[in-house]
Chain A
């Protein structure tokens, strides 16, 4: 096949694959547009890094949902509970390893964060498998029932969280080395936000590699577009559905951990509180598009940060405005996925 690729590239008159750069250019364009309104370059950098970090956390929470919607055509209103559950799963690690959070060691602190992430992804992945089997599977193909049933699942699971961990908010400490900020001249960047940016980028790159360089990724992309044809090729799409649902739940759990440490407080409704944002970014991005979800998350977070600084009264409606403008421009989202 490599011979074929070489032969192919040797042709000079080949039509080029079109790369859609416009949505990507929105991010730097937005940042540059905000600069004169913000005024101070150092404040602008601080706001931009904070926006990027927030965008990454939204991406982590939303990426699983966009995959689940794109591949399975499931409207999972219960997705928020996996965010909450992931956040609460940190307590399973923070309880026995509380000393690691207080230790003045970057290694121990990052190790603690890593363990929290792995535990949360494990817990939410397992609960996701049960959720798919018990709640989602009986309502495949019926959007109205999906909304009602997954909302019901969310309420039940939130109550289970209350039953297990109590209804009161639980404070959780940010690991010692992740507190405070990096100060470069007049620019202040919170350490935890920088870590969030790095983790978000790693997950995004990992997802891109998985989707574009592996057979399972090809199957997911093909399944988003035409699940019936994937079955006609001999692949069992149901297994793929379940795997993606579990992975989507685990990603929500990862987002929940990052969101929990950002807020430093756990509440059972914390996942549901961000679901409006999550739905906005997957709609803006193009349902089923991981790249669109990534760009949409950053866009929404940056706009919220800039508008919150420049004109706080408009901050509440800024996300809705962004969504409206994007959908007027591209009704199918920034990166529409070819759909069945």
Chain B
């Protein structure tokens, strides 16, 4: 069996006096889209931030592509090939859309064909190319945040609640963009509260509650098992259609 691209084993994270993650274990297989689900405060964002080294794991191990990144610095983890889109999107509002993307391309000018492909996913960004990113709407900022994450080829994308607060039309276009990213072979770990979006995209699903993993498996299993949905998430997919 091949080693997954990302593997968390018994990860504990403390933030100040608070014990947030309690021995988190899960794997993200290469080339697949893994959904991380759970109610507010379950520890999803903490998990992503711990993977990125923004908060250090107090114990446990995080392996990425065969290397131990548990104690790595955030820039080193990013340079290893992990891109992160935080829930706040982390857009530099004083910089233009172009400048935001230029900064994301660490190794030099962005490949023209790649840029064309990305802007094909998010055509709205073309119109705001030379405007401060602070002028963008919430959905456009999310597009920019994802564009920035994929401006150069990365091994793994960590994306935190990309559809949160977006209008339904924007959610739909975001789902289409993720489908295209998935089809291009990107490996993605996506935190999502919108179960409809999650079920439309995920190959695998990991469910968290109170800083622990309470379920992991194929998304198809969760989608078809209403009792499991009810038990894990307190909802059924039907209610979200």
What residues on B are CB-neighbors of A11 within 8 Å?
127
Tell me how far the C-beta of B11 lies from the nearest C-beta in chain A, rounded to whole angstroms.
Answer: 19
Mask: chain A, 228-259; 1 = CB below 8 Å from B; 0 = not: 11111111110000000000000000000000
What residues on A are CB-neighbors of B86 within 8 Å?
229, 232
What residues on A are CB-neighbors of B106 within 8 Å?
233-235
Interface residues of B, count at CB 8 A: 36
Q: Which residue of B lies closest to A226 (CB)?
A: B90
What residues on B are CB-neighbors of A237 within 8 Å?
75
Q: Is the CB of B103 within 8 A of A233?
A: yes
Complex CA gap A199/B128 in Å reads 36
Q: Is the CB of A4 within 8 A of B115?
A: yes
What residues on A are CB-neighbors of B102 within 8 Å?
215, 218
A185 CB-CB contact with B under 8 Å:
no
Tell me how far the C-beta of A23 lies from the nearest C-beta in chain B, rounded to whole angstroms.
Answer: 16
Q: Is the CB of A215 within 8 A of B131?
A: no
Counting contact residues on chain A (CB < 8 A from B), the size range is 20 to 34
What residues on B are CB-neighbors of A22 within 8 Å?
none
What residues on A are CB-neighbors of B74 within 8 Å?
228, 231-232
Q: Is the CB of B115 within 8 A of A229?
A: no
B84 CB-CB contact with A under 8 Å:
yes
Q: Is the CB of B128 within 8 A of A229?
A: no
B171 CB-CB contact with A under 8 Å:
no
What residues on A are CB-neighbors of B110 within 8 Å?
1
Tell me how far the C-beta of B97 lies from the nearest C-beta in chain A, rounded to whole angstroms.
Answer: 9
Interface positions, chain B 71-86, Cβ under 8 Å from A, are 73-75, 78-79, 84, 86
B98 CB-CB contact with A under 8 Å:
yes
Q: Is the CB of A232 within 8 A of B115?
A: no
B9 CB-CB contact with A under 8 Å:
no
Tell me how far the C-beta of A264 lies from the nearest C-beta in chain B, rounded to whole angstroms.
Answer: 41
Mask: chain A, 13-35; 1 = CB below 8 Å from B; 0 = not: 01111100000000000000000
A337 CB-CB contact with B under 8 Å:
yes
Interface positions, chain B 91-114, Cβ under 8 Å from A, are 92-96, 98-99, 102-104, 106, 109-110, 112
Q: Is the CB of A234 within 8 A of B92?
A: no
Mask: chain B, 115-157; 1 = CB below 8 Å from A; 0 = not: 1000100000011111110110000000000001000000000
Q: Is the CB of A218 within 8 A of B95?
A: yes
A8 CB-CB contact with B under 8 Å:
yes
Q: Is the CB of A5 within 8 A of B130?
A: yes
Q: Is the CB of B104 within 8 A of A233?
A: yes
Q: Is the CB of A222 within 8 A of B103?
A: yes
A221 CB-CB contact with B under 8 Å:
yes
Mask: chain B, 204-223; 1 = CB below 8 Å from A; 0 = not: 00000000000000000000
What residues on A are CB-neighbors of B180 within 8 Å?
none
A338 CB-CB contact with B under 8 Å:
yes
Q: Is the CB of B95 within 8 A of A221?
A: yes
Q: Is the CB of B75 within 8 A of A231?
A: yes
Q: Is the CB of A234 within 8 A of B95?
A: no
B52 CB-CB contact with A under 8 Å:
yes
Q: Which residue of A lies closest to B52 (CB)?
A: A232
B15 CB-CB contact with A under 8 Å:
no
Complex CA gap A18/B73 in Å reads 38
What residues on B are CB-neighbors of A190 within 8 Å?
none
Q: Which residue of A lies closest to B85 (CB)?
A: A232
A219 CB-CB contact with B under 8 Å:
yes
What residues on B are CB-neighbors of A14 within 8 Å?
127-128, 131
Complex CA gap A152/B97 in Å reads 43
A7 CB-CB contact with B under 8 Å:
yes
Q: Which of A1, A16, A233, A235 has the most CB of B within 10 A?
A: A233
Q: Which of B96, B99, B148 has the most CB of A within 10 A?
A: B99
In the complex where A1-B115, A4-B115 touch, is A338 in contact with B78 (Cβ < 8 A)?
no
What residues on B are CB-neighbors of A225 within 8 Å?
92-94
Tell me how far the C-beta of A290 lies from the nearest C-beta in chain B, rounded to whole angstroms.
Answer: 12
Complex CA gap A11/B130 in Å reads 12
What residues on A are CB-neighbors of B135 within 8 Å?
15, 17-18
In the complex where A231-B74, A233-B103 touch, is A222 in contact with B131 (Cβ < 8 A)?
no
B54 CB-CB contact with A under 8 Å:
yes
In the complex where A221-B94, A225-B94 touch, is A232 in contact with B126 (Cβ < 8 A)?
no
Q: Is the CB of B98 within 8 A of A5?
A: yes
Complex CA gap A222/B100 in Å reads 9
Tell me how far the C-beta of A248 lies from the nearest C-beta in chain B, rounded to whole angstroms.
Answer: 19
Q: Is the CB of B148 within 8 A of A233?
A: yes
Q: Is the CB of B98 within 8 A of A234?
A: no
The 3 residue pairs across chains A and B that have the minimum distance between CB atoms = A234-B78, A229-B90, A8-B129
* Additional A-B contact list (5), CB under 8 Å, known A8-B130, A14-B127, A228-B54: A5-B130, A8-B129, A215-B103, A222-B92, A224-B94
16 A–B contacts, CB within 8 A, in A order? A1-B109, A4-B115, A5-B129, A7-B129, A16-B131, A215-B102, A218-B95, A221-B92, A224-B94, A226-B90, A228-B74, A232-B78, A233-B148, A234-B75, A234-B106, A338-B134
Binding site for B on A (CB under 8 A): 1, 4-5, 7-9, 11, 14-18, 215, 218-219, 221-222, 224-226, 228-237, 337-338
